[in-house]
Chains A and B, each alone.
Chain A
Amino acid sequence: MATTPTRTLTHRPGIIRRARRNRIAYAFIAPAVLMMLLVHVIPSVQGIYMSLLDLRQATLRQYLGAPSVGLEHYQDIITGFFSGRGGANIRGLSQATRNALWFTIWLNVGTIGLGLVLALLLNRKFRGRGLARTLILLPWVVPSFVAGLIWRFVWLQRGGLANQILVDWLGIVDQPIRWLLLENTRWALLIPAIWRSVPFTALLLLAGLQVIPQDLYEAARVDGANAWHRFRYITLPLLKPSLAITLMFGIVFNLFGFGPFNIATSMFGSTNHGKYAELVVPAIARQTFSNQLYGYGAAASVLVMTLAMVFVILWYRVFRDTLRAE
């Protein structure tokens, strides 16, 4: 898409004229631009500036006039992450980052794995297919704060559905498990998150499966390919664009968004999600609030945003050809 220098040169004198000719286009986008400026752009620019300031409860009245600390917050966070030292906040943030990486990896493995199985099962001809698809989509429609509440009671040590099934009905486990305690909270958060992400993933993958031409399978069958080969050499390669998009959603929304935050907050009943279940964005939100470290929180957010951008660029490089081949 890069324009050559000569083209830019020949176009430059026309820019104002072109802008004037497109007045109507600017009128059409104006409301959206204004809202974006108000809600995203202006506050984010201030946020980036805040990350260079010593902005705490004591200095909040000065706001952007607070004393500057340069890149100190960034330095503290980065060195803290790699050396394992630093204050309680820095250590908490490093721990939350590791939690988030663990969480994101398993979430995507679980979601894409289960989603693919469901999509393949739904992509057959059988009676009640529409009903099955509707039922499977329901967990995605349920608000995530409701999901958190449901799972709070599924995980109850006494009387929770999980322990009832494991101990009383199946008898796999002798003692009721304390799901909302220490390391177990990792799983207590991961499983509801997978439960809520699978439906949409299955839907996207199903849509991807439905456009694969059936005669490819027929031809492969005639050539003697078995089920695994047909899956490996036809389904998987042709599903790659859908898988790429699913992976993108799965990582960006869960690592950098508030979906898991809502689940965890209503599941634990507070914004403190504990050492093992706290992810990066919730950790920054909590520290910013409860310790009133506004400059530090902004710096941590900028680092998270940088990570997100690096990730998107990497993702694009890896899947560029896949997405274009369509």
Chain B
Amino acid sequence: MTTPFTNSTLARPGSSATRRNLQQGITNRLLDLLLIVLVFLMIAPLIFMVVSSFKTGREFVNPTGFFPEQWQFGNYREMWRRANFGLYFRNSLIVCSVTTVVATFFAALTGYALTRFRFPGSDLYGLSVLGTQLIPGTLFFIPLYLTFVWIRTTFGLPLIGTNLGGIVLYIGFFIPVSLWILRGFFAAIPVDLEEQAMVDGATRFQAFWHVVMPLAAPGIVSTAIYIFLTAWDELFFASILRVKTLPFGLLLFSGVQSSQTRYDLIMAGAVVSTIPVILLFLLLQRRLVEGLTAGAVK
């Protein structure tokens, strides 16, 4: 009910009940105030981003106040046109959605198998999946690039500079962590139900798909959001494989080399890049928070 901080005075014997209540009330209000200040500090940069995106470029360096003198709604239209934003935005949506669906599915299959079977190599596999997270991207980006080039020339699959390349790459990238998030969820689902289903004639895959997956829905949702948010933010490998997603596009647009001084347009681009993930988060945050913290607390 109350944390150690809230009523520090309670323990002191001898003070009257009313004084105690008063002190406790004051302490609580002070803590509320501290929380409000901290929350404000956390979201102030975001408010700053949104407000600034309506300023003129000149107002950035010669500020007249926190708010723009005149709200420049045209910034967004101009940014969209000049940064070729539609292309990057569409690519990001395609790459991240497809990656999310496929990677979640693959991770679910694998997480399920690891909790239901003890097969030769299962422990080794579980550990090596974690091990991949310790490999710095700088170790393998050149071989990865050359492998993708080789696949392109040998099998004719266009993996460089295309959305397909980004999708293949990210599916591989995000399976390991997703697998570990999902594994905990599958482990918590009793095996009786699927065994019953299989006694009734379902195959193993049908039992997994129709019985276990619905039960693991909270985990599936939080894994999917995790993948989407992370893929949306990937910059380094996107620039290596020249996948034209938002982080890459916005870096080109805002980079020093492009001598881009239209700060207002850059901010408008930042706002639009954030909208999809914020929406996704607000819609599904309850599930996400439950899912991500379930593993940590058990």
Contacts and interface: CB of A to CB of B under 8 A. Distances in A.
Interface of A: 15, 18-19, 22, 24-26, 28-29, 31-33, 35-36, 38-44, 46-48, 50, 63, 114, 117-118, 120-126, 132-139, 141-147, 149-151, 153-154, 156, 158-159, 161, 164, 195, 198-199, 203-204, 206-211, 214, 217, 221, 224-228, 230-231, 234-235, 242, 245, 252, 256, 258, 261-262, 265-266, 268-270, 281, 284-285, 288, 294, 297-298, 300-302, 304-305, 308-309, 312, 326
Contacts of B143: 42-44, 46-47, 50
Contact of A143 (B39, B274, B293): B274
A38 B168 contact: yes
B125 A29 contact: yes
A32 B136 contact: no
Contacts of B89: none
Given A43-B140, A43-B143, A143-B247, A35 B172 contact: yes
Contacts of A156: 60-61
Q: Give chain B's interface residue range (CB within 8 Å of chain A).
A: 35 or more
A126 B5 CA distance: 14
Please report whether the interface of chain A is mostly helix, strand, loop or mixed according to DSSP: helix
B61 A158 contact: yes
A43 B277 CA distance: 31
Contacts of A161: 44-45, 48
B86 interface: no
21 contacts: A29-B110, A35-B175, A39-B173, A42-B143, A44-B139, A44-B140, A125-B2, A135-B39, A145-B250, A149-B254, A151-B45, A159-B60, A206-B293, A209-B3, A221-B10, A228-B8, A230-B4, A265-B251, A266-B251, A269-B254, A269-B256
Nearest to A285: B138
A245 B176 contact: no
B119 to A, nearest CB: 4
A122 B168 CA distance: 40
Contacts of A19: 119-120
Contact of B5 (A39, A231, A261): A231
B4 A207 contact: no
Given A43-B140, A134-B285, A142 B11 contact: no
Contact of B282 (A48, A121, A134): A134
Given A38-B147, A135-B43, 7 more contacts: A19-B120, A25-B116, A35-B171, A141-B229, A142-B278, A266-B247, A270-B256
A25 to B, nearest CB: 4
B139 A298 contact: yes
Given A32-B179, A146-B273, A301 B48 contact: no
Given A227-B5, A308-B134, A144 B119 contact: no
Please report whether the interface of chain B is mostly helix, strand, loop or mixed according to DSSP: helix
Interface string B1-36: 111111110111100000000000000100110110
Interface stretch (B73-81, B215-223, B262-270): B262-270
A48 B38 CA distance: 45
A39 B169 contact: yes
Interface in B85-124: 106-107, 109-110, 112-114, 116-117, 119-120, 122
Given A31-B109, A224-B11, A230-B4, A256 B175 contact: no
Interface string B121-157: 0100100110011111111111110110000000000
User: Across chains A and B, which 6 residue pairs bring their CB atoms closest together, nearest first?
Assistant: A39-B172, A301-B139, A22-B119, A207-B293, A28-B113, A43-B140
B193 interface: no
B284 to A, nearest CB: 11
Given A32-B109, A63-B146, A252-B133, A207 B139 contact: no
B20 to A, nearest CB: 12
Contact of A198 (B42, B137, B140, B297): B42
Q: Which of B229, B236, B281 has the most CB of A within 10 A?
A: B236
Interface in B273-298: 273-274, 277-278, 281-282, 285, 289, 292-293, 296-298
Contact of A29 (B12, B113, B285): B113
Contacts of B171: 35, 39
Contacts of B266: 149
B82 to A, nearest CB: 16
Contacts of A225: 11
A42 B145 CA distance: 12
Contacts of A142: 46, 274, 277-278
A145 B251 contact: yes
Contacts of B274: 141-143, 146
Contacts of A63: 146
A158 B168 CA distance: 44
B109 A29 contact: yes
